[in-house]
Amino acid sequence: MIKCAGVTVTLGDRNVLDGVDLHVGRGEWVTIVGANGAGKTTLLRYIAGLVASPGELHLDGRPAPSYSRRDRARLVAFVPQAPVIPDGMRVLDYVLLGRTPHIAALAVESRRDVAAVHEVLDRLDLVAFAERVVTTLSGGERQRVLIARALAQGSPIVLLDEPTTALDVGHQQQVLELVDRLRRDHQLTVVTTMHDLTLAGQYAERLVLLDRGEIAVEGPAGDVLTEANLARYYDARVRIINDGGRPIVVPLREPGS
Partner 1 sequence: MTVTAAPADATSASTPAPAPPARLRVAWLVAGLVAVVVVAVAGLVVGPVALSPVAVLRELVGLPTRLTTQQVDIVEQIRLPRVILGLAVGGTLSLCGASYQGVFRNPLADPYLLGAAAGAGLGVTLVIVGSSTGAATPTAVPIAAFIGALVAVALAYALGSSAGGRASTASLILAGVAVASFLTALQTYVQQRNQDTIREVYSWILGRLSSASWHDVGVLLIYAAPAWVVLLAHRRVLDVLALGDDEATTLGLHARRSRLVVIVAASLGTAAAVSVSGLIAFVGIIVPHTVRLIAGRSHRVVLPLSLLFGAAFLALTDLLARTLSSPAEVPIGVVTSFLGAPFFILVLRSTRRSVEP
Asked if residue 135 lies in contact with residue 90, where contact means CB atoms within 8 angstroms, the answer is no
Tell me the per-residue interface mask from 34 to 53 with partner 1, x by CB under 8 A, - otherwise. Answer: -----------x--xxx---
Which residues contact residue 7 at a Cβ distance below 8 angstroms, ignoring those fewer than 6 apart?
A: 17, 19, 20, 21, 22, 43, 46, 53, 55, 57
Asked if residue 152 lies in contact with residue 73, where contact means CB atoms within 8 angstroms, the answer is no
Interface with partner 1 includes 231 (CB under 8 A)? no
- Contacting residue, 21, 109, 214, 227, with partner 1 by CB under 8 A: 109
Interface with partner 1 includes 128 (CB under 8 A)? no
Q: Which is nearer to partner 1, 3 or 118 (CB)?
A: 118
Tell me the per-residue interface mask from 56 to 95 with partner 1, x by CB under 8 A, - otherwise. Answer: ------------xxxxxxx-xxx-x--xxxxxxxx-xx--
- Contacting residue, 13, 61, 106, 244, with partner 1 by CB under 8 A: 106
Report CA 108 to chain centroid distance, whole Å: 28
Interface with partner 1 includes 127 (CB under 8 A)? yes
Q: At what angle do helices 139-152 and 111-123 cross, to 10 degrees?
A: 140
**Dist. CA 92–CA 250, nearest whole Å:** 40
Interface with partner 1 includes 237 (CB under 8 A)? no
**Dist. CA 9–CA 39, nearest whole Å:** 9
Helix (H) or strand (E) holding 160: strand 157-161
Interface with partner 1 includes 5 (CB under 8 A)? no
Q: How far is the CB of 25 from partner 1 (least distance, A)?
A: 22
Task: Note the residues at the interface with partner 1 (CB under 8 A).
Answer: 45, 48-50, 68-74, 76-78, 80, 83-90, 92-93, 96-98, 100-101, 103, 105-109, 114, 117-118, 127, 130-131, 136, 153
